[in-house]
């Protein structure tokens, strides 16, 4: 038996290839790992205006907040000395692996500094997010840090 190739066979072949390609892509897409930056997007979006105001407050501080890597396996967070009584949290956010995130309590010394140990943190890109409240105002500061 010989199959002749005519326009009907061509249309059937194109539809078959299209259906197989679509099925293959859907199977591939469904097998990929999807990590969300946050599991509570909606709640965070409701707090977005508050965060913008807190970032603005932190931007007005003199001297500006900073995170500096020291050579002793630590990082040093510096805030203005008048923020020394602040209460808040420091989050080490790992963009590539949300399970690696780590949060510690803000505990500044008299000079507005806090030493942050780097033990247990993988090498690579981290974002240090600092949220604190002092003198009735909220503040938010973040800085990207590349750990060796």
Q: Indicate the domain borders of the chain.
A: 1-32, 41-147
Q: In DSSP terms, which residues pair with 142 in a beta bridge?
A: 129
pTM reported for the whole predicted model: 0.72
Rg, the chain, Cα only: 26
How does pLDDT run across 117-135, given as a tens digit for each residue? 998 899 999 999 999 999 8
pLDDT along the chain (148 residues), means of 10: 80 96 96 76 85 93 92 89 87 87 92 90 93 92 92
Rounded distance, CA 21 to CA 139, Å?
Answer: 51
If we measure between CA atoms, which residue out of 75, 53, 80, 48 comes closest to residue 64?
80
Fold of domain 41-147 = Immunoglobulin-like (2.60.40)
Residue carrying structure tokens 């990929």: 32
Q: In DSSP terms, which residues pair with 146 in a beta bridge?
A: 125
């Amino acid at each position: 038996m010989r199959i002749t190739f005519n326009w009907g066979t061509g249309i059937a072949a194109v539809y078959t290839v299209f259906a197989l390609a679509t099925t293959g892509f859907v199977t591939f897409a469904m097998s990929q790992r999807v990590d969300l930056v946050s599991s509570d997007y909606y709640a965070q979006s409701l707090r977005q205006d508050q965060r913008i105001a807190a970032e603005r407050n932190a931007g007005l501080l003199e001297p500006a907040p900073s995170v500096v890597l020291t050579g002793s396996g630590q990082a040093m967070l510096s805030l203005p000395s008048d923020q020394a009584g602040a209460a808040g949290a420091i989050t080490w956010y790992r963009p590539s692996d949300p399970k690696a995130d780590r949060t510690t309590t803000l505990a500044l010394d008299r000079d507005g500094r806090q030493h942050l140990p780097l033990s247990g943190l993988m090498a690579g890109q981290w974002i240090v997010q600092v949220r604190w409240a002092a003198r009735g105002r909220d503040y938010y500061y973040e800085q990207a840090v590349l750990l060796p």
